[in-house]
Amino acid sequence: MLFRSIHAKGDPVAPLRRALLTRRAEVRPDSFVTRLLLRNGRAVGVEWQDAQGDFHEELADQVVVACGAMETPRLLLLSGLEHPQIGRNLMFHFQTISLGRLAQRAHYHKGRSVSHLHDDHIIPDPESFKVAADAGLPWIKGGMVEHCGPGHPILEASTYPWGAEHKVKMRESPFRDHLVAFTMQGEDLPQATNRIDLDPAVRDVRGHAVARTTYQPHPHEIVSSGYHGAKLEAILAEAGAEWTTTVTSPMLDGNPFGITSPAAKIPASKHVMGTARMGDDPTTSVCDRWGRLHDVPNVLVADSSLFPTSTGYGPTLTLVAMAIRNARALLG
């Protein structure tokens, strides 16, 4: 039987291939856009740097910026744009990870890294409203919960001490074959103090200021994690777990493993949102509802930096739908 690609995978490769096949697009590897070229309140193109470090200009009537919630605000700031909201309201997903050890072998390392999920905790319930009120909050919300395992054999092998005991641990496999995890991608509320700006001292290999991250969880995330983590542990216990525990990312003080490394305070979530939020009011948003910069209307932003909120779901499908919507609006 002959199989052929239908370009259905949810990543940038399929649409990129389609664009290249039109012969109206090209990829320039090892290139870096250093700034937008701005004249009289409009963009006339971009400046870019090649692998040899030489600078070039590419002129255009419309410019689309799709660098992600870290690099888009960096590029806007490198271009000299000064909107006070650029880089602000940075959001990740606050991860609550509840672990349980089952007596039987679960074989959770086989197959997909995430086998199932449930999203019951996204909608507040009467109990959560009471917990929120006790903490001085109007409400708390969680997020979708991924059902997953801790890791594959090579990762497990790196966690046990070397020597004769290592073989015993690998055969018993308490980490890989008996551990089950629930990972909640908890909603992270936008905070103006959580932000991306240009580092005043650190430069990349080309000599440009890198993106500096300032981030601190809000009480909403901390209270919500404590409330929902206890519920996830109760589910694991009901399923027969011999013991349960919960950790978070970023880790909070007093985590059960006693980890105090600065790296533990950095969110592990790859879901990065905000920093060039869209809205109708130019004083509180960087872009309009169609992703166009309020200050430079022929620059279209098409990535997760537009998100005004993070919700408790993965951002990819919303990001793709929004990019298609905004591109169609750009074309009229």
Residues above pLDDT 70, as percent of the chain: 92
pLDDT at 287: 97
DSSP code per residue over 129-162 = HHHHHHTT-S----EEEEEE-S--HHHHHTTSPS
pLDDT greater at residue 7 or residue 250: 250
101 pLDDT higher than 80: yes
pLDDT at 214: 93
pLDDT at 105: 80
72, 86 Cβ separation under 8 angstroms: no
237 pLDDT higher than 50: yes
pLDDT at 6: 66
When pLDDT is cut at 50, 70 and 90, the band that residue 206 belongs to is very high
CA distance 219 to 271: 20
Across the chain, mean pLDDT equals: 89
pLDDT at 1: 43
Residues above pLDDT 90, as percent of the chain: 69
Q: What is the pTM of this model?
A: 0.87
CA distance 191 to 277: 12
pLDDT at 80: 96
When pLDDT is cut at 50, 70 and 90, the band that residue 278 belongs to is very high
User: Of the ranges 3-17, 131-145, 169-183, 257-271, which is most confident?
Assistant: 131-145
pLDDT digits (tens, 9 = 90+) for 249-267: 888 775 555 555 566 678 8
Q: What is the pLDDT averaged over residues 30-42? A: 95
The phi-psi region of residue 242 (left if phi > 0; otherwise alpha if psi is between -120 and 50; otherwise beta) is: alpha
- List the end-to-end C-alpha distance of the chain, in Å, as a whole number: 43
Token pair of 234, please? 């109760």
pLDDT at 264: 67
